[in-house]
Amino acid sequence: MSTRLSIFAIPGIPLVQPGDDLASFILDGLAAMGESLAAGDIVVVAQKIISKAEGRLVSLGTVMPSARAEELAGVTGKDPRVVELVLQESREVLRAKTNVLIVEQNLGLVIANAGIDRSNVEGGSEDMALLLPVDPDASARALRETLIERSGADVAVVIADSVGRAWRYGTTGMAIGCAGLEPLWDQRGDTDMFGKVLEVTEVAVADQVASAANLAMGEARERTPAAIVRGLDTPRRERPATALVRARKEDMFR
């Protein structure tokens, strides 16, 4: 039997406000399309609505840029208040030049602008910024528990962002939080079908799940910030998405 995956976006999720109950939105959206959660489903949720529900929206009017932020704003051409938030959300600046500010975000993620987003922010206001969740693995665990409690189905949760890459154009999915699945399948030491031991085959399954879900969720023009990935036979082992972050001592490109 070959693996057969079904991936579909959950439409009808309303604009998310701080404190909103995302589990309800997801379950209601599924019910409206005649679907329900099944054991083994992976519920993929866009980072944006997790951040919004957790109140990670910051009014730039409240941000006082530091001297370092002003300096980097000059280099990058970015709003000094946004740069200040990027610095607060980061451990280290890796690259700064016109239109580009790449950092090690507080979670260890190497990411542009610390993952801070100014699009799709309610009200069309220009002076708001949306930060990444403080602990997306914890967010995923909490959402998973609620979904299991209310649906009875043993599902997994992945919180997905879309990020750029050093040597490729275009964004792809990245799992910044997960619960109930193994994000990294370690096949080192397994043998291939000819009996030869594979040297290194670790598969970033959670990132691939995020990318697959992105295809169904589409981008900003459609309001589908959640999707179901159904049919993936994942190992029972469970780790957080931080397991995907390469250790700094192994980084050859900083």
Binders of its own copies among residues 154 to 213 (CB under 8 A) are: 162, 164-174, 183-185, 187, 190-196, 198-205, 207-209, 211-212
Q: Which is nearer to its own copies, 142 or 226 (CB)?
A: 226
Q: Which is nearer to its own copies, 66 or 172 (CB)?
A: 172
| Contact (Cβ atoms closer than 8 angstroms) between residue 9 and residue 29 | no
Closest CA to 245 of 210, 195, 207: 207
Q: Which two tokens stand for residue 90?
A: 């980061």
Q: How far is the CB of 44 from its own copies (least distance, A)?
A: 12
234 to 253, contacts with its own copies by CB under 8 A?
A: 243-246, 251-253
Closest CA to 236 of 74, 24, 40: 40
| Contact (Cβ atoms closer than 8 angstroms) between residue 42 and residue 228 | yes
| Contact (Cβ atoms closer than 8 angstroms) between residue 6 and residue 230 | yes
98 to 137, contacts with its own copies by CB under 8 A?
A: 100, 102, 109-110, 118-124, 126
Report the Cα 60 to chain-centroid distance in Å.
Answer: 23
Q: How far is the CB of 88 from its own copies (least distance, A)?
A: 21
Q: Which is nearer to its own copies, 47 or 142 (CB)?
A: 47
Closest CA to 69 of 42, 91, 88: 88
Q: Which is nearer to its own copies, 142 or 229 (CB)?
A: 229
28 to 67, contacts with its own copies by CB under 8 A?
A: 33
Q: How far is the CB of 208 from its own copies (least distance, A)?
A: 4
